[in-house]
Structure formats: C-alpha cells, structure tokens
C-alpha cells in the first residue's frame, strides 16, 4: 500500500533542468550515504537528517535539508501536467537508495503516472531493498569506484561485494543500466587500472561503460564493444591517460 505520509530528508529539488534533446527533468537530491569516500565532493550530505550548518560567507546558520513527504515531492515533480509525458525525475544523493522506503513509494507514484524515472546509485544497498526498487527504475546510473575489493574498502570504507552483486542483478532487469567509473587520482586512474576494471566488468557482464569527460565541456568518452569481450575494447590507452592524468 502506498501512502503519502512517508517522508525523507532532501537536500534540494532542482525543477525542470532541461537537457539537450529531452524534456524537463526534476532532480531530487536526497541526503544520506553509508559510504565514506576519500574523494567525496559533498561530505556534509552523508548525514541523512537535517543539520544546522554555519555559513561563513553569510555569517549565519542554515538548515542543510528539509523533510518532505512523498506527496509534496510528487506535486513538485508534476506541477506542469501538460508536459507530463516528457517529464523525467532523477533521484540522486548522497546515496539516493539509502532512504529506500521513501524512494519506493515516490517511484511507485511516478510510475503510475507514466513518468520516466532515473536513479544515480553506488549500489551499496541491501540486495532485498535493491531488488524491490529495480522494477520501478527506467534508467539506472551505477557508479563504480574500484575493481579490487580491499582497495575499494580503503577509498570508500566498504567492500565492493554487495555493489557488484547488485550491479550483476541490475543487468538482468528491465532497467536501462548505465555504468560510470568514478576515478580517484593515484588510486584507480593509472594505465594498469584499465585491465583491472576491464576484468571486473567483464566478469559481472557489463558491455558498456562511461568515463568522465576529458574536460568540463567535453562529451563523455564511451566504450561500447558489441562484438568484443572486454568493455574497454575500443578505448585507446592514450584517451584514457588524457582523460585521467596522473
């Protein structure tokens, strides 16, 4: 049963950010993350509750989030019913799936209305929760941080066993799965890491990956080897080195 009273702590809601070749999109940024990545650009978002934060520029405190009900977020996402068929909603974080009860009910309500749903995730969520959410996600953006188990623990605080299991399960679902590599200078961006990522992704069953852009304005470097075993086939070593300088 779906209820409008389920709530979650949300950092921000960015409404109708237009993307090239697509309709409006609402981006919902949920607070909370179970990982402690050494390169996290927003460590303050790890806590899943509302916190009072000091802003030195304005010399005042502010709340770094707000509690929203499913109904409130739904109404914000669908405030333009005439564009409903083209509307997309992206859930991100932190780790968006950490507040899984809220995410399940929000996605369920969006799917009932024919809204395209997208989720960015690290995949670090209980398998049972992940399996329950997966059928509600049209486009799953899956971030991979390291191919080696112990190295993954060192840079994120957790092992990657659960993540790889969820990634493998997602590839057999109806969701469109987009795998992105999160590279950390000196830890997984070296030329020798290409082989490590390739072996791991091949073992899981990934056939396409997205690498970060060469520059802030450059398009992503993609690998899509339809007729080859390795998902990195077709990506030249020089491109990899240019994209991720050591």
Mean pLDDT, all residues of the chain: 80
Q: Kindly report, residue by residue over 119-171, the tens digit of the pLDDT.
A: 999 999 999 999 999 999 999 999 999 999 999 999 899 999 999 999 999 99
Contact criterion met (CB below 8 Å) for 2 and 63: no
Going by C-alpha positions, the residue among 148, 143, 158, 243 that lies closest to residue 193 is 148
Class of residue 231 by CB neighbours under 10 A (exposed 0-12, middle 13-18, buried 19+):
buried
Q: Kindly report, residue by residue over 39-60, the tens digit of the pLDDT.
A: 777 777 877 777 767 677 777 7
Q: For the structural domain made of 7-146+169-182, what CATH number should be given?
A: 3.20.20.70
* Per-residue pLDDT, 184: 74
With a threshold of 0.75, does the pTM exceed it? Answer: yes
- Distance from C-alpha of 64 to C-alpha of 143, rounded to nearest angstrom: 24
* Per-residue pLDDT, 101: 94
Boundaries of CATH 3.20.20.70 in the chain?
7-146+169-182
pLDDT higher than threshold 60 for residue 223? no
Is the alpha carbon torsion for 54, 57, 63, 64 positive or negative? negative
């Amino acid at each position: 049963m779906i209820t409008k009273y389920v709530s979650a702590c949300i950092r921000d809601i960015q409404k109708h950010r237009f993307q090239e070749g697509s309709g409006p999109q609402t981006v919902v940024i949920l607070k909370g993350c179970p990982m402690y990545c050494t390169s996290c650009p927003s460590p303050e978002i790890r806590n899943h509750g509302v916190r009072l934060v000091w802003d030195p520029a304005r010399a005042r405190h502010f709340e770094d989030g707000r509690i929203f009900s499913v109904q409130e977020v739904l109404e914000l996402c669908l405030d333009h019913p005439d564009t409903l068929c083209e509307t997309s909603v992206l859930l991100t974080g932190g780790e968006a799936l950490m507040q899984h009860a809220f995410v399940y009910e929000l996605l369920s309500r969006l799917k009932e209305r024919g809204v395209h749903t997208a989720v960015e995730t690290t995949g670090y969520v209980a398998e049972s929760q992940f399996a329950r959410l997966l059928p509600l996600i049209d486009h799953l953006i899956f971030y991979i941080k390291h191919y080696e188990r112990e190295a993954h623990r060192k840079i994120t605080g957790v092992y990657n066993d659960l993540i790889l299991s969820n990634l493998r399960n997602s590839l057999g679902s109806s969701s469109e799965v987009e795998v992105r590599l999160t590279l950390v200078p000196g830890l997984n961006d070296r030329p020798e890491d290409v082989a490590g990522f390739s072996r791991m992704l091949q073992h899981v069953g990934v056939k396409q990956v997205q690498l970060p852009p060469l520059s802030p304005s450059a398009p992503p470097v993609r690998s899509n080897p339809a007729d080859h075993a390795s998902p990195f086939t077709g990506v030249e070593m020089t491109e990899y080195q240019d994209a991720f300088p050591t």
